Amino acid sequence: MNGTSALIILVAAIFTNNILLSNFLGMCSFLVCSRQVATALGLGAAVIFVMTCTTIINYAAYHWVLKPLGVHDHLYFIVFIAVIAAFVQFIEMFIERFSPSLYHALGIFLPLITVNCAILGAALFMIIRNCSFVQSAGYGFGAGVGWSLAILLMSGLRQKLGYSNVPKAFHGVAIIMIITGVMAAAFMGFAGMVSIQ
């Protein structure tokens, strides 16, 4: 995707190509952590931050380290996941040292993020779509915002769901899935706006 401006990619990643609602990534933490708005906000903020940074670092690792060495084709999976794990660990220590209040707000969510497939997915999409450096940064940030938007909307809906009478078999995850489906359908309304890929 040459020439597409990073701003368009950012908007597309939030609305039309939402990483959760159209690429199905990051479902596990989406299902588990969407019970309360406050939790969803904290996790969302952590995901935006980690996703933007790791996408940029992974871009640098892939194009500036792995490619010159000629091992990018078979080693990038393991390098990407290692970068993400190391980055999260590092950030956790950093926040704990310099901002205890932020650590208490975000701290518990950070380890969860290592295994959030949306983070690795954003990096892999960036490679497949052949993004430039600025486009990757735009995509990483947009995908993070899109994911946070989805989990925030869901946590709001789930708090209301407590008052409704759901059929017995649909209790728990089943009804969440169906609500997510309706949300995905609503987000498809943005489809004509901008598009990437």
First and final C-alpha spacing in the chain: 7
With tokens 């993400």, the residue in question is: 84
Q: Distance between CA 144 and CA 119 in Å, rounded?
A: 8
Q: Which of 81, 64, 196, 67 is nearest to 133 (CA)?
A: 64
The nearer residue to another protein, 24 or 49, going by C-beta atoms, is 24
The nearer residue to another protein, 100 or 181, going by C-beta atoms, is 181
Is 161 a binding residue for another protein by CB under 8 A? The answer is: no
Q: Distance between CA 42 and CA 44 in Å, rounded?
A: 5
* The only residue of 34, 116, 148, 155 in contact with another protein, by rule CB under 8 A: 116
Q: In this chain, which stretch among 18-26, 44-52, 133-141, 146-154 interacts with another protein, using CB under 8 A?
A: 18-26
How many C-beta neighbours within 10 Å does residue 67 have? 13
Alpha-carbon distance values, 38 to 59, 148, 161 (Å): 32, 12, 16
Convert residues 176-195 into a mask of x (bound to another protein by CB under 8 A) and - (unbound).
xxx-xxx-xx--x-------
The nearer residue to another protein, 60 or 115, going by C-beta atoms, is 115
Is 22 a binding residue for another protein by CB under 8 A? The answer is: yes
Q: In this chain, which stretch among 22-30, 56-64, 100-108, 145-153 interacts with another protein, using CB under 8 A?
A: 22-30
Structure token digits, residue 161:
């769901």
Q: Which residues bind another protein (CB under 8 A)?
A: 21-28, 31, 74-75, 77-78, 80-82, 85, 115-117, 120-121, 124-125, 128, 167-178, 180-182, 184-185, 188
